Structure 1
Amino acid sequence: MRGLLAGAAVGLAVLVLVPAAPAWAHGGDAPDGTDYRTVVTSVSPAPAGLRVRAVEAGARLELTNRTGTTVEVLGYENEPYLEVRPDGVYENVHSPAVYLNETLTGTATLPPAADPTLPPSWRKASSEPVARWHDHRSHWMLSSPPPAVAADPGRQQRVRDWVVPLRTGGVTAVSVSGTLDWVPPPRGGVWWAWSVVFALVVAVLGLVGRLRRLVGSLSVRSSSLVPSVSPLWVLSVLSGASALGGVAAVVYAVGREIDAGNDGVGALVNGLFASQIWPVLTGLAAVFASGYALFRRPAADFALALAGVCVAIFAGVSNAGAFTNGVVPVPWSPFVGRLL
């Protein structure tokens, strides 16, 4: 039990000491899943050092500028919207896109200063030459699907092709082209049913030892009433399930951060601490509880139960959108994401 308390103290200390979300961490409105797949297909012409891609399951576009010159993103009325300079990102406070792109739905109220006809007024937004923004040209904003999708929702189909205009060096026009596709959602009820079945199996296994003791106390010796399974074997199986669940929670959290565009170990770790701290902590706690139980420490069953509930809530239910959406925010196949 002292080991559990020490682990909890370390987890709380990490949570308190975690720095504020860095500029490259994904936004708080990153979807847990979507039925629309956004893909950047080309950047033309493509200067060396310029990279544009879709991140966060297509919710944002990311532009990384290593060209040594300024790259300008144009807004919805071809007004200057963003400047990604070598020393950071600047936004034009007179561009309506600055305010419309704050949310995934684009429902912001425009202030009087949002006038695309005014000369640009630049405000620094980041010290890194990396910009991420909701670009409503590249994703579907309405709650209702397009008419073609509504007519045939079971078929994967193209919703539209899209283009985001850029300028490099203030003069050279660059086009970022991409596609937006409808991906039919899976049968969510099937995934939920298997989850419930697995939970019931775990619950039954957890009760086996207590049931044997109860039946033994009543002097009932019929093997047909009580499974011939030793409590030690049951504890080993539950410990394995706890370890598997903990590893799956951490792997899924890592996958979400990779999908959010966090390349490299440093960016990945920062992203995990900033946005996936609870799935990671509960996943590691489940692995720790597994080892704790295998050593037959006091209150091992309680440790497994607590870890299991926390993983189910913070890493399972919180990511349940993967069960009902065609696009899962991980860099692997949607099936692997749902399985995790």
Structure 2
Amino acid sequence: MGDFWLPEAASTMAPKIDSLFTFVNVVSGILLVGVVTAMLWFMYRYRRQDPAERPSPVKESKLLEISWIVIPTILVLLVFNWGFKSFVAQKTIPDNAYEIRVQARSWGWSFEYPNGVTTDTLYVPADEPVKTTMSSQDVIHSFYVPAFRVKQDVLPNRYTSVWFEATKEGTYDLFCTEYCGRNHSEMDAEVKVVSRARFDEWLESAGTPDDIPLPELGEKLYTQQGCQGCHSLDGSDMVGPTWKGLYGKTDHQMADGSTVTADANYLRESILQSGAKVVEGYQNVMPSYASLSEREVTGLVEFIKEQSDKEVSEE
């Protein structure tokens, strides 16, 4: 249960966000009382008591003028510094975070785990960082868990991510907070935080024979879709760029002279819109694979990522 002001704080970031929120409210309350009190005092002290009375000249106070410049500046800098540190902490995803794929659609959520299990309820282990990699099948949605103090827009045709570390076992609400159509208010889900042992048990029992992990799906599509005819996995040059060491490459040179980072969004765009960015030294002969499902596109991205991870481990 939360308090009068806020919902329950159930993540590592929640106390930091709440303390800043409380500080801003307390300072704002003090300033409000001070300003209103001063206004009432001035109304009484400088009221005109006689129609013929003329106000006496008022001399400026340098101390007062300096005070109402310096004090607000200090407060603004304090809040900015405090907020910026919290922002950086929220955006810096731990290397050991457990990754879960999130798919948003009108009007529901689905959550996919590394072993291929897919559910409409988000299960996470307690006291471990969790990264959600999200995309939308249709319009803009927004992933919001009040108890964790996390909110992130979920966009079509690209990936967004947010991370959290739940600190209390229990069931929490998940909402879409971006208006997405007629049943927007019904687009909710549950987040169940359990111990690591119970999470592992659930993950093992929730799988079905038809589930296939994303990298394995990507490897299957690599052959089925004919990708092996243009893209090698061992670094050899073919019709298209090799997939070995591609993911995460920061100086990927394009034909127009620009460079891009070969992250998940770049790979997704290249699969669905092959001519959007053409790599230097290669021709734009790749067909569009827009007919692939969202899960198949993600599977190919994860397979390409796996090739880079293999290269790093071999080194």
* TM-score, scaled to structure 1: 0.21
- Compare relative contact order (CA 8 Å, sep 6+) and give the higher one, 1 or 2: 1
* TM-score, scaled to structure 2: 0.22
